[in-house]
Amino acid sequence: MTQPQHPYDHGGDGRQIQLETHGLDVIGDADRKGTPRTLFWPWFGANVAVLGLSYGAFALGFGISFWQALAAGVLGILASFLLCGLIAVAGKRGSAPTMVLSRAAYGVRGNRLPSAVSWILTVGWETALASLATLATATVFSRLGWGGGTETKAVALLVVAALTVVGGVMGFDLIMRIQTVITVVTGVLTLVYVALVADHIHWSTVSAIPAGSPQQFIGALVFMMTGFGLGWVNAAADYSRYLPRGSSSRGVIGWTTFGASAAPLLLLVFGLLLAGSSERLSEAIAADPIGALTTILPTWFLVPFALVAVLGLVGGAVLDIYSSGLALLSAGLRVPRYLAALVDGMLMIAGSIYIVFFGGAFLGEFMGFLTTLGVPIGAWCGVMLADLALRHRDYDEGDLYRPDGRYGDVPALPLVLTVGATAIGWGLVTNTAADRLSWQGYLLGPLGLGGRTGQWAYANLGVLVALALTFLGTLLLGRRRVRAQEALPPSPAPAPGTYGA
3-state helix, strand, coil in the chain (%, to 5): 70, 0, 30
More reliable by pLDDT, 22 or 437:
437
Q: Which residues contact 163 (CB under 8 A, 6 or more apart)?
A: 314, 318
Section 389-399 average pLDDT: 93
Cα distances (Å, whole numbers) of residue 438 to 76, 222, 441, 444 = 26, 19, 8, 13
Tell me what percent of the residues of the chain surpass a pLDDT of 90.
Answer: 49
- Give per-residue pLDDT as tens, 294-318: 888 888 888 888 888 888 888 788 8
Cα distances (Å, whole numbers) of residue 108 to 122, 151, 337, 365 = 21, 47, 18, 33
Task: Say if residue 12's pLDDT is above 80.
Answer: no
Task: Say if residue 427's pLDDT is above 70.
Answer: yes
**DSSP secondary structure code for residue 303 in this structure:** H
More reliable by pLDDT, 32 or 366:
32
Q: How far apart are the C-alpha atoms of 463 and 275, rounded to whole Å? A: 26
Assign 225 a pLDDT band (cuts: 50, 70, 90).
very high
Task: Say if residue 161's pLDDT is above 60.
Answer: yes
Which range, 30-39, 163-172, 230-239, 377-386, has the best average confidence (pLDDT)? 377-386
Task: Say if residue 89's pLDDT is above 50.
Answer: yes
pLDDT of residue 501: 52
The amino acid that residue 219 corresponds to is: G
pLDDT of residue 9: 35
Which has the minimum average pLDDT: 57-71, 212-226, 435-449?
435-449
Task: Say if residue 132's pLDDT is above 80.
Answer: yes
Assign 169 a pLDDT band (cuts: 50, 70, 90).
confident
pLDDT of residue 181: 78
- Give per-residue pLDDT as tens, 260-301: 999 999 999 999 999 999 999 998 887 778 888 888 888 888
Assign 13 a pLDDT band (cuts: 50, 70, 90).
very low
Q: How far apart are the C-alpha atoms of 318 and 180, rounded to whole Å? A: 13
pLDDT of residue 242: 87
Q: How far apart are the C-alpha atoms of 435 and 234, rounded to whole Å? A: 27
Task: Say if residue 454's pLDDT is above 60.
Answer: yes
Assign 4 a pLDDT band (cuts: 50, 70, 90).
very low
Section 188-202 average pLDDT: 89
Assign 256 a pLDDT band (cuts: 50, 70, 90).
very high
